[in-house]
Amino acid sequence: MKNFLAVALIMPLLASCTTTPAETPTTDKLAWYDSREEALLKGLKKEGTRKENILETIQLGSEQFIIYRATTAQGEGIGIAAMQHENDKKFAWTRVSNKLTVRFIDGQTVDSQTTFRSPDGVHYRLYTGIMPKNKKTLTLNGHSIRPVIDGETRMYYSIKKTAP
């Protein structure tokens, strides 16, 4: 019973340690730029990362998302942003989810997940973690999935559309 109580008390603590208020999406007024490249570079700079840290740019429906390696106050993790556009003439970077820490400064790792809403109002769930070597699939909610794995860091992510 003591072990169960200890686990029950530690889980909320771990969940709260994966993000900090400074890493949450902002509701600031969007900064629009004349090119996608300029919006991308300014967004990466604002997030404290570089173009080399982009893991993937994906299209989900009519929206484009950028998944990138992120530095957090607790260690390293994954961030996700949307590239918004107006008539393909103006572009804006919008972080749509908290940065999720998956490897802490002390070397510990954690699988994490969060739900986010895209600028178009679509709800998604982002799963992240560190994939063990020689493993390519994992089980989430009873389903086997093949997440995207960064070969350098072994960080993985998977994005699934959810109901609002």
Instruction: At 54, list the tokens.
Output: 């982009």
DSSP β-ladder status, 155-161 and 148-149: antiparallel
What is the pLDDT, as a whole number, of residue 29?
Answer: 80
Rounded Cα gap, residues 150 and 49, in angstroms: 16
What is the pLDDT, as a whole number, of residue 4?
Answer: 41
* Virtual torsion, Cα 67, 79, 140, 148, nearest 10 deg: 30
Phi, psi of 10 (to 5 degrees): -80, -35
The range of the structural domain enclosing residue 97 comes to 2-161
What is the pLDDT, as a whole number, of residue 141?
Answer: 75
What Rg value do the Cα atoms of the chain yield, rounded? 17
What is the pLDDT, as a whole number, of residue 28?
Answer: 60
Domains identified in the chain, total number: 1
CB 161 within 8 A of CB 130: no
pLDDT per residue rounded down to tens, the chain (164 residues): 444 444 444 444 444 444 444 444 544 688 999 999 999 999 999 999 999 999 999 999 999 999 999 999 999 999 999 999 888 789 999 999 989 999 999 999 999 899 999 999 999 999 999 999 888 998 877 878 899 999 999 999 999 999 87
